[in-house]
Amino acid sequence: MDKYKDGDTIFILMTAEQCKSVMREWLERDYECDLNVMRSQKNKGKFVLKTKSLMWANRIIQWHGYELDQEQMFRDLSGRLNDMSLDAMKCEYLGERKEVLNDE
């Protein structure tokens, strides 16, 4: 949540049970904030809560949890692994280059 600032649109992926729990609390306590619910198009059987309230989004995540978007997680992980392998090849290349220079 550190990358968001107040006023940003925040999307929270949830299971049906998590979403039901949030909606029940929202209605019972009559919270004053924007909250939209929709079915996730990318994650079958999941729901997305949408809000612009950073405080409310933090509370939802803290009290009710959230689901990870597995596709996004795999893309991020793949990118990180690619960066790590490029760094390893760079270090290996530079390390070998130093040895060649030292031998000259």
- Provide the CATH number for the domain around residue 50: 3.30.1370
**Together in a domain, 41 and 4:** yes
**Together in a domain, 41 and 75:** no
**Structural domain of 76:** 68-104
Residue 100's pLDDT is what?
Answer: 47
**Together in a domain, 61 and 16:** yes
Over the Cα atoms of the chain, what is R_g? 22
**Together in a domain, 41 and 89:** no
The yes-or-no verdict on residue 44 having pLDDT over 60 is yes
How far, CA to CA in Å, does 63 sit from each of 4, 14, 59, 78, 84? Answer: 19, 12, 6, 30, 35
**Together in a domain, 20 and 50:** yes
Query: Is this model's pTM higher than 0.85 or not?
Result: no
The yes-or-no verdict on residue 11 having pLDDT over 60 is yes
**Together in a domain, 72 and 86:** yes
